[in-house]
A and B are shown apart, each in its own frame.
Chain A
Amino acid sequence: NAGVTQTPKFRILKIGQSMTLQCTQDMNHNYMYWYRQDPGMGLKLIYYSVGAGITDKGEVPNGYNVSRSTTEDFPLRLELAAPSQTSVYFCASSYWTGNQPQHFGDGTRLSIL
């Protein structure tokens, strides 16, 4: 079972470069999320989506953009990379109803130099 798949696993960017972090899930979950985790800290929500075509900001959305054209995919884009965006990025997905927990990917470790 693939679950939530994130690519790439590691990336080093130069200041000002742009990139897209990919996230795909094969569980037909309607909700998807992007979190970032700085060293020694808990996760902070960047953006989330309640279904294809619908996205909204979380706690720390500045410097990021997302899109949700399909149920399966939820890419996160950094347009002008800054050192403050050095972090580990986690994508998650879940059903809306009932007791369904969030399922997380293994993360993308991003360094901006």
Chain B
Amino acid sequence: DAKTTQPPSMDCAEGRAANLPCNHSTISGNEYVYWYRQIHSQGPQYIIHGLKNNETNEMASLIITEDRKSSTLILPHATLRDTAVYYCIVRVERDEETSGSRLTFGEGTQLTVNP
């Protein structure tokens, strides 16, 4: 799986959009970009994922550059409850081997939403 690079920390004002960047310059054509977050002391929570096109769900939007070497997770109206560590993960969607759809977690970005 491709390696990802994220800033260690970011701050955001409550009610504003939080834009979290991720670099994945060695991504392969069949690798998807996944975002998870981990609120303190809890298990990771899936947010969104995509391959080429931008994606949006009830939690966030994912913007992937045309060359797919970087992406941005957007939380449109950040709240205090969005304070968490955000992980950008790149992996193959369908692992045809028996190795399973494993996730490789880096150190993520600590997002702090301030009142």
Q: What's the least CB distance linking B22 to chain A, in Å? A: 14
With both beta carbons as reference points, the residue of chain B lying nearest to A90 in the complex is identified as B43
> What separation, in Å, do the CA atoms of A49 and B43 have in the docked complex?
19
Q: Is A106 a contact partner of B43 (Cβ separation < 8 A)?
A: yes
Q: Give the total of A residues in contact with B, Cβ under 8 Å.
A: 29
Among B41, B49, B87, B103, chain A packs the most CB atoms within 10 A around the CB of: B103
Q: What's the least CB distance linking A4 to chain B, in Å? A: 8
The residues in B between 95 and 111 inclusive whose CB is less than 8 angstroms from any CB of A are 98-108
Q: Is B100 a contact partner of A101 (Cβ separation < 8 A)?
A: no
- Please name all residues of chain B whose beta carbon is closer than 8 Å to the beta carbon of A58 when the two chains form the complex: 102
Q: Is A104 a contact partner of B102 (Cβ separation < 8 A)?
A: no
How extensive is the interface on chain B, given as a class?
A: 20 to 34
Q: Is A48 a contact partner of B102 (Cβ separation < 8 A)?
A: yes
B101 partner, pick from A42, A94, A107, beta carbons under 8 A: A94
> What separation, in Å, do the CA atoms of A58 and B103 have in the docked complex?
10
> What separation, in Å, do the CA atoms of A92 and B42 have in the docked complex?
12
Q: Is B43 a contact partner of A104 (Cβ separation < 8 A)?
A: yes
**A96-B101 contact, Cβ under 8 Å, with A90-B43, A101-B46, A101-B49:** yes
The residues in A between 82 and 113 inclusive whose CB is less than 8 angstroms from any CB of B are 90, 92, 94, 96-97, 99, 101-107
With both beta carbons as reference points, the residue of chain A lying nearest to B108 in the complex is identified as A42
Query: A80 at interface (Cβ–Cβ under 8 A)?
Result: no
Q: Is A43 a contact partner of B103 (Cβ separation < 8 A)?
A: yes
21 A-B pairs within 8 Å (CB atoms) are namely A4-B43, A31-B100, A31-B101, A42-B87, A42-B105, A42-B106, A50-B98, A54-B98, A56-B100, A58-B102, A90-B43, A92-B43, A97-B94, A101-B36, A101-B46, A102-B46, A102-B103, A104-B45, A105-B43, A107-B41, A107-B43
